[in-house]
Amino acid sequence: MSKFKLTYFDLNGGRGEPIRIAFHAAGIDFDDHRISFDEFRETRGDMRFTCAPVLEIDGVTVTQSNSMLRYVGKMAGLYPEDDLQALYCDEAMDAVEDLLHHVVQSFGLEGDELKAAREKLAAGWLSIFVKGLAEILERAGGDYFADNRLTVADLKVYVQIRSLRAGKLDHIPTDLVDKLAPSLVKHEERIGNAPIVTAYYAARAS
């Protein structure tokens, strides 16, 4: 049996969280190595592409969160076998990554500079991607992003929408998603109540 170690920030969100949920859904033990932002700043120079998460499989290091999520998702039965449905799944996951690329550009800013950057983000790229995600959700029927069932795409989108609605980003209105894409609100609630998700957080709390 392979040994897995996932290194990511000590928070219940971001790029690493869907991978953790998928590992739990697959029933695979893994070293959930959580680091602080200070630890990341000290060690990122040693990380490939200077970014996290990082997954070690039997000592071999792998990067790129969507690649990890697909890999673990396949072991958990959460990735479509049909090529077209896999494309739909990938589209949603890649859209979230594109959005995060714009979000992280505001990290490290402070005061009025941060406020201005986040307000511009909310009016621009964030609104564009929220609306776009709602469109592809509706294309798939409105319940899930692909395969008419829960996949890793749903986990990826769920974690990000939950974060936005919970006010994790200063100066981003918590009701932005509610106003622009009510279908994503329903999706977040649906995935948040899915057995594999509730089981993961119940295990985390124990």
Residues 172 and 118 sit within 8 Å (Cβ to Cβ):
yes
Q: Strand, coil or helix: what is 107?
A: coil
CA distance 146 to 171: 32
Distances (CA, A) of 89 to 63, 145, 180: 19, 6, 22
- Is 72 found in the same domain as 88? no
- Is 142 found in the same domain as 70? no
pLDDT greater than 90 at residue 205: no
- Is 120 found in the same domain as 22? no
- Is 188 found in the same domain as 111? yes
- Is 175 found in the same domain as 126? yes
- Is 108 found in the same domain as 13? no
> Which tens digits make up the pLDDT trace of 88-107?
999 999 999 999 999 999 99
> Which tens digits make up the pLDDT trace of 15-41?
999 999 999 999 999 999 999 989 988
* Residue the block writes with tokens 């392979």: 2
- Is 174 found in the same domain as 92? yes
- Is 89 found in the same domain as 68? no
- Is 94 found in the same domain as 174? yes
- Is 101 found in the same domain as 30? no
Phi, psi (rounded to 5 degrees) for 126: -65, -45
Confidence (pLDDT) at 47: 86
- Is 49 found in the same domain as 118? no
One-letter identity of residue 34: R
Split at pLDDT 50, 70, 90, the class of 206 is confident
- Is 162 found in the same domain as 109? yes
Confidence (pLDDT) at 6: 98
> Which tens digits make up the pLDDT trace of 190-199?
999 999 999 9
Peptide bond preceding 18 in cis form (omega within 30 of 0): no
Confidence (pLDDT) at 77: 98
pTM of the predicted model as reported, rounded to 2 decimal places: 0.95
Q: Identify the CATH number of the domain in which residue 58 sits.
A: 3.40.30.10
Average pLDDT over residues 42-70: 94
Q: Looking at residue 167, what DSSP letter applies? A: T
Which residues fall within 8 angstroms of residue 34, CB to CB, at 6 or more apart? 8, 9, 10
Q: Identify the CATH number of the domain in which residue 171 sits.
A: 1.20.1050.10
Show the DSSP H helices in 47-82 as ranges: 65-76
Q: Which domain holds residue 45?
A: 4-77+196-205
Domain count, the chain: 2
Confidence (pLDDT) at 110: 94
